[in-house]
Structure 1
């Protein structure tokens, strides 16, 4: 599993341009899963139901994970739309993103080279407007501890930027914490060392 963080888009972006009387509208959105990517494609297709083509490509995970890529020419000549769209997305270094390019045809043929340029170029321009944030890869741990250890554990959590997701305060304290996966081993070791192994630490099975 790749533990390095990667960039994801924050907001939706729309870019429009007219090429030889055809209007190309590029829509980009954050889509963390294949299901959400396909739902976004359907949403744009519904919105622009009268358009001749709604071509698309998505990267539904890490930017380099080709198992989560998809694309469609939606009736354009094979290889002229979906692939150029996907090439721009996968080359951007941004993950969890879908682009749908809507084309309203103006009756002038662009030729295969013209189409590749129009679809790829529209996505390239739209990507310049995309604002991103870093998505860290996290893991969850369950901690069991006595009340007397809580202040120490909280200070260690703060040191490693571990977030408390849930807490159960009964005979003892049970905490569910989330932490950057790259810090998890050191965090666990620090807890063991500083509390004299008095904290029970278990990975949460997702």
Structure 2
């Protein structure tokens, strides 16, 4: 069963005079991940390497370290511990001693592993994907209803008529949300099974 984090967590260590700070947090969208990375990256640090995973979507970045020595090991640590909906940022201040590619991979992956191991986790709910269309004025309320049932907004597409949303919600929440959205829109907003399902 996959897990996500209950909240942000941090792990610090020094490896051969280089200082590493690992920060991790739960996310609900790629935009959440990017915002966390931008907000917590230290521009005075030598490297701000990161990875995130959200269902089938994932990204990683070596931020100037040799290819595959930072972002990928961080992502591997996320996957090895069965985490999902998580972003991990590892900040490094270079201490003057080269670690080599193996040493870098161990440092970045190890920091991510230790940070996630000590973090409080919660099991992820099984979710199904549904699609809907709403007007611009209804968007904030629709997002609120989805958040109230611990759902995720997977994609947002703005059209000339409104907004198309792809959401992921617990199977037992489908009817509840459908009723709420029908009430909200006088029956106009309808949940459709995802064409990708």
- Output the TM-score relative to the length of structure 1: 0.62
CA distance in structure 2 between the partners assigned to 1:132 and 1:102 by the alignment: 22
Query: CA contact under 8 A between 1:21 and 1:107: conserved in structure 2?
Result: yes
Out of 21, 26, 50, the position equivalent to 1:56 is 50
Matched, 1:181 2:181: no
> 1:34 is matched with which residue?
30
> 1:8 is matched with which residue?
4
Show structure 2 runs of 5+ residues with no match: 131-148, 150-168, 177-188, 193-197
Equivalent pairs, count: 144
> 2:120 is matched with which residue?
131
Query: CA contact under 8 A between 1:13 and 1:27: conserved in structure 2?
Result: yes
- Output the TM-score relative to the length of structure 2: 0.65
SS of the counterpart of 1:93?
A: coil
> 2:19 is matched with which residue?
23
Matched, 1:117 2:106: yes
CA distance in structure 2 between the partners assigned to 1:106 and 1:22 by the alignment: 4
Within 5 Å, give how 1:182-197 maps onto structure 2: none
Question: Which runs of structure 1 show a deviation greater than 2 angstroms over 4 or more consecutive aligned residues?
Answer: 134-140, 182-185
Cα deviation, 1:130-180, whole Å, max 9, x if unaligned, reads 21223322689xxxxxxxxxxxxxxxxxxxxxx8xxxxxxxxxxxxxxx84
SS of the counterpart of 1:120?
A: helix
SS of the counterpart of 2:75?
A: helix
Rg bigger for which structure? 1
CA distance in structure 2 between the partners assigned to 1:139 and 1:112 by the alignment: 40
CA distance in structure 2 between the partners assigned to 1:31 and 1:22 by the alignment: 28
SS of the counterpart of 1:24?
A: strand
CA distance in structure 2 between the partners assigned to 1:36 and 1:131 by the alignment: 19
How far is the alpha carbon of 1:91 from its aligned partner?
2.0
CA distance in structure 2 between the partners assigned to 1:56 and 1:96 by the alignment: 14
Cα deviation, 1:6-54, whole Å, max 9, x if unaligned, reads 4221111110000000001100011111111011111112xx1100100
Query: CA contact under 8 A between 1:139 and 1:184: conserved in structure 2?
Result: no
